[in-house]
């Protein structure tokens, strides 16, 4: 089974438009096919079209219509063969040879409208959302209705009048965005293969008539939550010990000396204006990338020995440094960053933030396209800064004073053409809307404020602070004090208080007493602090989005690390919120205040499915391959889907014959993890096939791979 490319929608040039108008009198229209009615109305207005009809607008030789999201859906297994109405393991895996789509009942009327319009159209401008999903929504309709005319692509980043007009003036060749459609087809078909087959398989195995929904991205996301919950549940707090030490500064010693010369009691407390230097003992065994408990002193006697050695002893200042440091403005928001910040500040849900961002973009026209994965802007948009500022001021006069302090000529690191993906970061538009931000509800105003302030911050100086570090040595023991003093607020005055601060950094903002390297300081007091190691925290929607987004950076396996890019994640900017929402709807997860926890049903499903299906790294690799298809980087639909089919066949085979082993397999199981490699002597380890016919299966391989390529199938 492969990708059947019956017809590729052809690009359309301006010259061809006029040529076709001349020769094809029966098809006098060009059709703009949008994703939603509101989007269609905005584009029609920019085109000067106002004649309304049922499901479309018309004027000036142009038709504007819309899809209302996906008008088509993939058919269920029983639409391929009646025998699939009965769920049976023997029928699995179900592998369609010719993929079928059918009209959705709820939007069938609109599909009929588009079918009628296409018969009158010599060409189509695809004007759906500028992403993989938008491309698929339009092109699958054109394929389904067998449209054979030429096509162009309208690529919109915002729906305010200025942005629409710019896009209309530079309509793209549709061939440029065709790979997005291929990626959308691959994603939809892979999700169908995994979802339909494994949902049936594990529902049948359950024997309780409870449907166990399995998904290509949904199940690995559930596994992240289940694993975190179990890590917390199985966590055993370990006691450890910290030592806080106070050292007398030179000023205090002098104060006491003066007091003693006057005949006063040398035990007298120092005056209020004299500070003690607060330090912490540095546990010498603590290293980066260690287990949390190993970073702490677990031996109380060892800690007590430090106190006995150092009490009333003089220490030498080995380091006394203060450096002026600068921090540039934070990058602009992409959707994940916006979801994480709104979750942290107001516990907004991921889908809720997406809906708000969509409303700001689509309804209010105040911000750009929200489903972006980019945090940068193209250099060409630097020319728009003045107009954006003017619109910000008109929409909300209370922010004009802040804007007057900004340097509009300052170009921060966000202006970088090399960092632009399909879209740029989410920013305010040039739209000055009637009523301004007074039209927004509280939540919309909060999210809009995040977006505009992050943009404004780009035109303020760096935040500057003095970082001080003092190290004091008493024999083999070291004590450290650090402090950070803000010197120039810079962009932080644009961001506003609380948006980027946290308790840890606030606690560190203190000025240290002035000491000099080589100076001797008396250890005044040492306090032993009894502590307990803390378990990780349950996910919030914001931290789960972060974990899904950055799964590629968490790779330890050397082979997978070579294959998986750091940017690889679970799902995409556009789909992550929906994945989390689906897990809630299917009752696999639940909310406990702001935290997400797995339900009993979620634990049961995660325990039932094989490791391959719930492995976030393998799924992230698949998402990376879909991205390569979308960017025309050598990956194709057939190869990608063949991996899913190979995986399915292996899993279904194991379900049907869980105990079956060939003599060859029995022979190879003589090797196990930890044994010396027979070729080079290095330890063997368990690996997982990520390519080929045995994708997803475990095998024993040499830890020295790729230098040594010994392996044995388990």
Residues classed as catalytic: 369
Q: What is the DSSP string of 156-185?
A: -S--SHHHHHHHHTTPEEGGGTHHHHHHHH
Cα–Cα distance measured from residue 654 to residue 668, given in angstroms and rounded to the nearest whole number: 18
8 Å CB contact between 499 and 450: yes
Cα–Cα distance measured from residue 182 to residue 366, given in angstroms and rounded to the nearest whole number: 32
Would you give the DSSP letter of residue 377?
A: B
Cα–Cα distance measured from residue 349 to residue 165, given in angstroms and rounded to the nearest whole number: 34
Q: Report the SS3 class of residue 705.
A: coil
For 206-251, list the strands marked E by DSSP.
239-248
Between helices 350-362 and 442-456, what is the axis angle to 10°? 80
Give residue for tokens 């170009």: 411
For 68-113, list the strands marked E by DSSP.
72-74, 101-103
8 Å CB contact between 535 and 236: no
Both tokens of 246, joined, read 């106070």
Cα-Cα-Cα-Cα dihedral sign, residues 560, 565, 566, 568: negative
Return all residues near 515 (Cβ < 8 A) that are at least 6 apart.
Answer: 249, 250, 277, 317, 320, 470, 521
Both tokens of 147, joined, read 């449209």
Q: What are the beta bridge partners of residue 333? A: 426
Strands 10-11, 150-153: pairing is parallel
Query: Residue 318 CA to chain centroid, in angstroms?
Result: 43
Helix (H) or strand (E) holding 648: helix 637-656
Q: What are the beta bridge partners of residue 428? A: 367
Return all residues near 245 (Cβ < 8 A) that are at least 6 apart.
Answer: 278, 279, 280, 281, 310, 479, 523, 525, 526, 527
Q: Report the SS3 class of residue 522.
A: strand
Q: What are the beta bridge partners of residue 482? A: 469
Largest CA distance in the chain: 114
Cα–Cα distance measured from residue 77 to residue 127, given in angstroms and rounded to the nearest whole number: 32
Cα–Cα distance measured from residue 688 to residue 670, given in angstroms and rounded to the nearest whole number: 18
**Could you tell me the CA-to-CA distances from 228 to 421, 590, 598 in Å, in that order?**
32, 14, 9
Nearest in space to 468 (alpha carbons), one of 325, 568, 346: 325
Cα–Cα distance measured from residue 517 to residue 638, given in angstroms and rounded to the nearest whole number: 67
Return all residues near 401 (Cβ < 8 A) that are at least 6 apart.
Answer: none
Return all residues near 309 (Cβ < 8 A) that are at least 6 apart.
Answer: 474, 475, 477
Return all residues near 681 (Cβ < 8 A) that are at least 6 apart.
Answer: none
């Amino acid at each position: 089974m492969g990708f059947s490319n019956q017809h590729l929608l052809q690009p359309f040039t301006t010259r061809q438009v006029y040529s076709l108008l001349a020769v094809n009198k029966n098809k006098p229209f060009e059709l703009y096919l949008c994703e939603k009615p509101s989007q269609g109305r905005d584009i029609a207005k920019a085109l000067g079209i106002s004649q309304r009809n049922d499901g479309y607008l018309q004027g000036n030789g142009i038709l504007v219509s819309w899809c209302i999201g996906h008008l088509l859906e993939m058919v269920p297994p029983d639409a391929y063969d009646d025998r699939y109405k009965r769920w049976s393991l023997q029928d699995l895996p179900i592998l369609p040879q010719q993929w079928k789509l059918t009209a959705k009942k709820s939007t069938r009327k609109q599909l009929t409208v588009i079918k009628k319009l296409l018969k009158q159209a010599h060409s189509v401008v695809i004007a759906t959302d500028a992403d993989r999903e938008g491309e698929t929504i339009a092109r699958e309709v054109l394929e389904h209705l067998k449209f054979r005319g030429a096509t162009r692509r309208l690529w919109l980043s915002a729906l305010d009048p200025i942005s629409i007009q710019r896009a209309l003036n530079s309509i793209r060749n549709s061939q440029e965005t065709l790979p997005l459609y291929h990626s959308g087809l691959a994603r939809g078909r892979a999700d169908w293969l995994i979802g339909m087959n494994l949902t049936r398989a594990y529902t049948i195995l359950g024997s309780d008539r409870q449907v166990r929904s399995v998904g290509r991205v949904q199940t690995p996301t559930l596994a992240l939550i289940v694993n975190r919950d179990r890590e917390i549940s199985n966590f055993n707090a370990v006691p450890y010990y910290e030592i806080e030490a106070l050292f007398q500064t030179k000023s205090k010693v002098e104060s006491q000396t003066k007091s003693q010369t006057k005949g006063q009691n040398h035990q007298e407390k120092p005056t209020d204006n004299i500070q003690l230097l607060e330090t912490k003992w540095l546990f010498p065994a603590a290293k980066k990338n260690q287990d949390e408990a190993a970073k702490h002193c677990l031996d109380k006697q060892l800690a007590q020995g430090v106190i006995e050695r150092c009490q009333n002893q003089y220490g030498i200042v080995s380091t006394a440094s203060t450096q002026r440091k600068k921090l540039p403005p934070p990058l602009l928001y992409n959707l994940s960053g916006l979801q994480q910040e709104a979750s942290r500040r107001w516990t907004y849900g991921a889908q809720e933030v997406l809906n708000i961002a969509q409303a700001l973009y689509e309804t209010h026209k105040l911000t750009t396209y929200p489903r972006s994965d980019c945090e940068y802007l193209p250099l060409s948009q630097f020319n728009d800064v003045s107009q954006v500022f003017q619109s910000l001021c008109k929409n909300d006069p209370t922010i004009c004073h802040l804007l007057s302090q900004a340097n509009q000529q300052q170009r921060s690191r966000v202006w970088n053409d090399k960092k632009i993906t399909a879209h740029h970061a989410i920013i305010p538009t040039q739209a000055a809307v009637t009523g301004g931000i007074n039209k927004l509800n509280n939540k919309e105003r909060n999210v809009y404020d995040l977006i505009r302030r992050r943009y404004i911050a780009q035109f303020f100086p760096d935040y500057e602070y003095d970082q001080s570090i003092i190290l004091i040595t008493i024999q083999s023991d070291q004590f450290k004090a650090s402090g950070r003093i803000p010197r120039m607020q810079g962009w932080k005055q644009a961001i506003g208080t609380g948006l980027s601060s946290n308790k840890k950094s606030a606690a560190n903002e203190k000025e240290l007493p002035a000491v000099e390297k080589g100076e001797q300081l008396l250890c005044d007091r040492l306090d032993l602090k009894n502590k307990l190691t803390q378990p990780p925290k349950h996910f919030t929607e914001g931290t789960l989005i972060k974990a899904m987004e950055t799964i590629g950076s968490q790779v330890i396996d050397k082979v997978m690390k070579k294959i998986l890019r750091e940017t690889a994640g679970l799902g995409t900017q556009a789909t992550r919120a929906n994945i989390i929402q689906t897990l809630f709807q299917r009752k696999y997860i639940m909310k406990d205040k702001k935290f997400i926890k797995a339900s009993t049903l979620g634990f049961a499903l995660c325990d039932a499915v094989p490791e391959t299906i719930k492995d976030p790294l393998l799924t992230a690799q698949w998402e990376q391959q879909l991205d390569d298809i979308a960017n025309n980087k050598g990956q194709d639909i057939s190869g990608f889907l063949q991996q899913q089919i190979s995986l399915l066949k292996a899993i279904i085979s194991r379900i049907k014959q869980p105990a079956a082993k060939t003599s060859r397999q029995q022979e190879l199981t003589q090797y196990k993890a930890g044994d010396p490699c027979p070729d080079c002597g290095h330890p063997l380890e368990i690996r997982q096939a990520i390519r080929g016919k045995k994708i997803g299966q475990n095998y024993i391989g040499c830890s020295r791979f790729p230098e040594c390529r010994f392996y044995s199938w388990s």
